[in-house]
Amino acid sequence: MADKPLPTITDENRPFWEATRHGELRLQRCRQCDRYRYPIAASCPRCLSLDAEWAAVSGRGRVFSYVVFHQVYHQAFKDDVPYNVVLVRLDEGPFMFSNVVGVGNEQLRCDMPVTVVFERVTDEVTLPRFRPEEDR
């Protein structure tokens, strides 16, 4: 059976995956216009600056939208259905895809507060996922 897709670690994204391995969520922040950005990119899509730092973020956000997969589109997820995918809006602004763990799919709601958790998948890759957070 096919394995689940894993990130291809490159020079560009290595700081992101090294941070998650150490239990931290870091995103690029443009040094010229101060904006956080995600997806990971070589330059800032706002001001086009190449100058960025990998800044730690709170790992807190809200579920902007979510879906539950019943259809198996990738054989490696055959035993996971029904599973959720969420679009999280981090408190710092950027959106990320992820999964919410520790709660039934039927309890998911738009705008529910969540906080990041880290799940080790391989020696190299630790995936950021999210769990519900008490109302705040």
Q: Which of 48, 51, 83, 101 binds another protein (CB under 8 A)?
A: 83
Write down the number of H helices and E strands in the chain: 1, 8
Q: Kindly state whether residue 75 participates in binding another protein, applying the rule CB under 8 A.
A: no
CA distance 120 to 126: 4
Q: 45 vs 102, which CB is nearer to another protein?
A: 45
Closest C-alpha to 97, from 69, 124, 135: 69
Q: Which of 23, 48, 110, 120 binds another protein (CB under 8 A)?
A: 110
The distance of closest approach from Cβ of residue 133 to another protein in the complex, given in angstroms and rounded to an integer, is 18
Closest C-alpha to 113, from 55, 62, 38: 62
CA distance 104 to 84: 9
Where does this chain bind another protein (CB under 8 A)?
A: 4-8, 10, 12-13, 37-40, 45, 64-71, 73-74, 77, 80, 82-83, 85, 87, 89, 93-99, 105, 109-111, 127
